[in-house]
Structures are given as structure tokens and as C-alpha cells.
């Protein structure tokens, strides 16, 4: 099984990378900022892996990464950032940055992963948040970006 995980350098991404390393033939781990956190993640991995530093909100960077991945069985869109502020105080740049990374980034990864997936048995897993359903004070951009990943009924 060939698995791509975005946001693999910490938190849930690290947990998934380590857990899936015993069940995967190859992991492709995507992260953005923290090289040290990524090194800590791969210390616990037993499978073969490649790591890619990538701003998934930028299509050119996503293209560069996915060109290096020959086949994909599972894509896990896990990357998530937040820039919290009350709605009336939120700057448009904070709104756009969170939407671009959390929602557009997932779209771009899907767009460039699908051509490398087998016709049957491939999966895309979009990690959302309870905040997508419940909302919370000061996280309107994060809640909106995660709600966009929720399956429709």
C-alpha cells in the first residue's frame, strides 16, 4: 500500500505515519515548516518513506511533489492551520491563508493524486474537525475550511 499523508510532521499526521508504517509498503510524508519535527516523526517509522517539504496551498509545489510519487493507494489530507480571531477582528489575509491551506490544499492534493490512484481500492481521507459541525468562538475561518472537507449527505 502506498500512502500519502499531508501534515505529517506532528500531531495526528505523525500518529498516522507511525501507525501506518507497519501496514504500508511506502509512505510519502508531506510537511511544511518544521524540519526538526519531521525528523522526529520519521524516527518511529519502519516502512520505506520519502519526505517532501511543500506548501500545499501552492499548486506548483503540489505538482512538484506529486510528480515524484509513482502510485497512490491512499491520500490522507491532514494538514491544518489556524489563525484565530473574533470575526469582527479577523483580517482578510488570515481568512484567506487558512482557507488556502486547509481547503484549497486538500483540493490540490486530490487533483494531483487521483491520476496516480488505481481505479479500484483507492481511498481519499479528508481529516476534518468537530469544529466544522459545532463552530467555536474565534475560529470562523478554521471551521469553514474544515466544513468544506465534510462529506455531503
Domain ranges of the chain: 2-147
Confirm whether pTM is higher than 0.85.
Answer: yes
Q: Out of 31, 32, 49, 142, which one is annotated catalytic?
A: 142
pLDDT tens-digit readout, 81-102: 999 999 999 999 999 999 999 9
Helix (H, G, I), strand (E, B) or coil at 102: helix
Angle, helices 59-66 vs 105-113, to 10°: value is 30
142 included as an active-site residue: yes
Domain spanning 2-147: which superfamily? NAD(P)-binding Rossmann-like Domain (3.40.50.720)
**CA nearest neighbour of 105 among 130, 126, 74:** 126
CA 33/CA 55 separation, integer angstroms: 9
pLDDT tens-digit readout, 94-124: 999 999 999 999 999 999 999 999 777 789 9
What 88-97 contacts at long range (C-beta under 8 Å, 24+ apart), as own/partner pairs, is 90/140, 90/141, 94/141, 95/140, 95/141, 97/57
Amino acid at each position: 500500500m502506498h500512502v500519502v499523508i499531508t501534515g505529517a510532521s506532528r500531531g495526528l499526521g505523525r500518529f498516522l505515519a507511525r501507525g501506518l508504517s507497519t501496514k504500508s509498503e511506502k509512505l510519502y510524508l508531506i510537511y511544511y515548516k518544521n524540519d526538526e519535527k519531521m525528523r522526529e516523526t520519521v524516527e518511529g517509522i519502519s516502512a520505506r518513506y520519502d519526505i517532501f517539504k511543500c506548501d500545499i496551498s501552492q499548486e506548483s509545489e503540489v505538482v512538484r511533489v506529486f510528480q515524484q510519487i509513482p502510485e497512490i493507494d491512499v491520500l490522507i489530507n491532514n494538514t491544518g492551520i489556524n489563525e484565530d480571531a473574533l470575526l469582527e477582528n479577523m483580517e482578510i489575509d488570515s481568512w484567506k491563508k487558512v482557507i488556502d491551506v486547509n481547503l484549497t490544499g486538500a483540493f490540490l492534493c486530490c487533483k494531483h493524486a487521483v491520476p496516480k490512484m488505481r481505479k479500484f481500492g483507492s481511498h481519499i481521507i479528508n481529516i476534518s474537525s468537530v469544529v466544522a459541525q459545532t463552530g467555536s468562538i474565534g475560529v470562523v475561518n478554521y471551521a469553514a475550511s474544515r466544513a468544506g472537507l465534510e462529506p455531503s449527505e
